[in-house]
Amino acid sequence: MYIELKERFIKLWEMYFDNAELPITFYYTNEEGRARLVKPDSTSRCVIGALSHVRRGRSLCFDIDSVGCFGGKKYLGFLDEAMPNFEYFFILRYS
């Protein structure tokens, strides 16, 4: 069933989206073993940087220790609050 659904989705995607890159999906689970757990410091500190692996077809799993930046920890749901003055992070760091 899963393989048939996947193949149908890809066929329709290619037909309607002119062979555009497949979308990246996210989901939350407590089940282990669905994807490779990213070990701390084994990939980009930023989750966005790690998505380059996903774009090449690799499934990744993140936990609180896998994510190296406070923004990623906050917006993936591992922290309730961002670091102080987070809204100014890019302005201060990259200006």
Give the pLDDT confidence of 21-62 residue by residue, as tens digits. Answer: 989 888 888 888 888 888 888 876 788 888 888 888 888 898
Residue 30 domain-assigned (yes or no): yes
E-state strands within the chain: 36-37, 60-61
User: Alpha-carbon Rg of the chain, whole angstroms?
Assistant: 17
Arithmetic mean of pLDDT, 4-8: 92
| Strands (DSSP E) found in 33-86 | 36-37, 60-61
60 DSSP assignment: E
* Length of the chain (residues): 95
Domain that holds residue 83: 25-94
The CA distance from 67 to 28, in Å, is 15
The 3-state DSSP class for residue 31 equals coil
Most confident residue range from 7-16, 58-67, 79-88: 7-16
Q: How many domains does the chain have?
A: 1
Task: Tell whether 85 is covered by a domain.
Answer: yes
Q: What is the pTM of this model?
A: 0.66
Residues facing 36 on adjacent strands: 60
In a domain, 8, yes or no: no
43 found inside a domain:
yes
Is it the case that residue 9 has pLDDT exceeding 90? yes
Judge whether 51 lies within some domain.
Answer: yes
37 lies in some domain: yes
**pLDDT reading at 84 higher than 90:** no
